[in-house]
């Protein structure tokens, strides 16, 4: 793994985490919560400066960062629960008007979800750049995005013979909504028999097609089966509005893909060996950076960055301890029941969740290293 890969990955992760924490920071300030420190990186402080009530710092380890708000640790366990001095409980802030813990639930909810919201916004901006500036020109000198509308289809193909027609816009496959050609490709390639139920828009009306058939073939070397597409899709001319629409549709597609992947993990379709942690992700990013010398390569890199930042946003909203989603779950409980879970119990749950996440990270990192060694 080269130094370039490591530096590129750290830079990308640093920006993604900084944007996430900046979301918490902005909304905390908006909600009149005192931010004691806004840090980029972890570990010992390299440099720091003060502006108003907030200390801004750059830390040694370029991994993560944090936005330390007044009163947010009131949900932490007492030092006794953490193995400290039982006679030294966590103290309430002197000024509760600027404390996170003393703000109404809806204000705390906005602060908690702001980090993930900024990651999703960053993903959209990155996708705008990917499609606005990195789309290659075609032979006629124009730029196009792939649609899901059939442009070419041989009448001798199985797809035509089972109902698909030129001009059909594919909007559903096996009950799943299709927003982009990426959705179409992923759903079709993951199928086992090459036969699909499709919903198309034909002459302005929705038409349901059952048993649309495509050809499956087997790679002689790997033994893997893959589907042969019998059609080509129309191009969408690049304009400002079509670029915005394409970025929005792709963000939706990436979000759905990530949710489906999480579901596949829970159902056992994917296992631990299929996950990539920091080491594996650094390797993938490094390869993408190396290939970013062309417009297509740069677009592929930006698409990867968009996927990572959207992934970070979604993962942080999962209702798991130590994540923003876990905190959000406690806030929803408090908002519904009007009862606040005791601080020591909430903090202990987050602490246990953090330990479990670290164990998972270590396991995935070990898998990454073993995969790299094995080539």
Report CA-CA distances (Å) from 87 to 27, 79, 251, 256, 345.
35, 8, 51, 49, 18
* Residues 77 and 351 sit within 8 Å (Cβ to Cβ): yes
Alpha-carbon distance 259 to 278, whole Å?
20
Find the DSSP H helices in the chain. Answer: 3-30, 105-133, 158-161, 181-189, 240-267, 278-290, 295-316, 324-337, 343-374
340 close to 105: Cβ distance less than 8 angstroms: no
Nearest to 180 by CA among 242, 118, 225, 259: 242
Specify whether 21 is catalytic: yes
CA distances, 57 to each of 15, 38, 75, 105, 358 (Å): 15, 6, 24, 29, 24
Q: Are 297 and 135 in contact (CB under 8 A)?
A: no
- Helices 105-133/240-267 angle, 10° precision: 120
Write out the two tokens for 355: 């330990």
Distance between CA atoms of residues 48 and 58, nearest Å? 6
- Using CA atoms, how far residue 350 sits from 73, 76, 77, 318, 330, in Å, is 11, 8, 9, 13, 11
**Residue 116 burial (CB count, 10 A):** 24
Residue 133, token pair as written in the block: 């500036």
**Pick from 326, 355, 349, 353: which is nearest to 81 by CA?**
349
Question: Cβ distance 250 to 127 under 8 Å?
Answer: yes
Do residues 227 and 236 touch, judged by C-beta distance below 8 A?
no
21, 74, 251, 346: which is the annotated catalytic residue? 21
Catalytic residues: 21
């Amino acid at each position: 793994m080269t130094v370039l890969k490591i530096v590129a990955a750290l830079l990308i992760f640093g920006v993604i985490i900084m944007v996430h924490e900046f979301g918490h920071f902005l909304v905390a300030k908006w909600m009149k919560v005192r931010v004691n420190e806004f840090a980029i990186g972890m570990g010992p402080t390299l440099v720091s400066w003060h502006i108003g009530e907030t200390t801004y710092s750059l830390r040694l380890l370029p991994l993560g960062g944090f936005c330390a708000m007044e009163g947010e640790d009131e949900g932490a366990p007492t030092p006794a629960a953490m193995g400290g001095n039982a006679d030294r409980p966590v103290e309430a802030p002197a000024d509760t008007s600027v404390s996170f813990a003393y703000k109404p639930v809806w204000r705390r909810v906005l602060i908690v979800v702001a980090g993930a919201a900024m990651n999703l916004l960053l993903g959209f901006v990155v996708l705008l750049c990917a499609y606005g500036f990195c789309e290659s020109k075609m032979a006629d000198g124009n730029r196009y995005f792939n649609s899901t509308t059939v442009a070419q289809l041989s009448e001798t193909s199985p797809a035509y013979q089972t109902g698909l027609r030129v001009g059909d816009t594919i909007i559903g496959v096996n009950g799943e909504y299709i927003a982009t050609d990426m959705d179409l490709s992923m759903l079709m390639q993951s199928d086992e028999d090459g036969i699909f139920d499709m919903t198309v828009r034909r002459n302005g009306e929705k038409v349901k097609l059952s048993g649309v058939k495509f050809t499956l073939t087997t790679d002689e070397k790997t033994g893997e089966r893959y589907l042969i597409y019998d059609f080509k899709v129309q191009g969408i001319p690049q304009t400002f509005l079509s670029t915005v629409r394409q970025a929005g549709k792709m963000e939706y597609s990436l979000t759905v893909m990530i949710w489906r992947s999480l579901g596949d993990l829970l159902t056992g379709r994917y296992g631990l060996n299929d996950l990539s942690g920091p080491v594996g992700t650094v390797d993938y990013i490094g390869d993408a950076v190396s290939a970013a010398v062309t417009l297509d390569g740069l677009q592929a890199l930006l698409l990867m960055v968009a996927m990572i930042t959207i992934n970070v946003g979604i993962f942080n909203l999962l209702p798991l301890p130590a994540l923003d989603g876990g905190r959000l779950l406690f806030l929803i409980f408090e908002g519904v029941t009007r009862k606040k879970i005791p601080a020591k119990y909430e903090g202990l749950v987050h602490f246990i969740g953090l330990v479990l996440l670290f164990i998972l990270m270590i396991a995935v990192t070990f898998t990454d290293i073993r995969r790299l060694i094995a080539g």
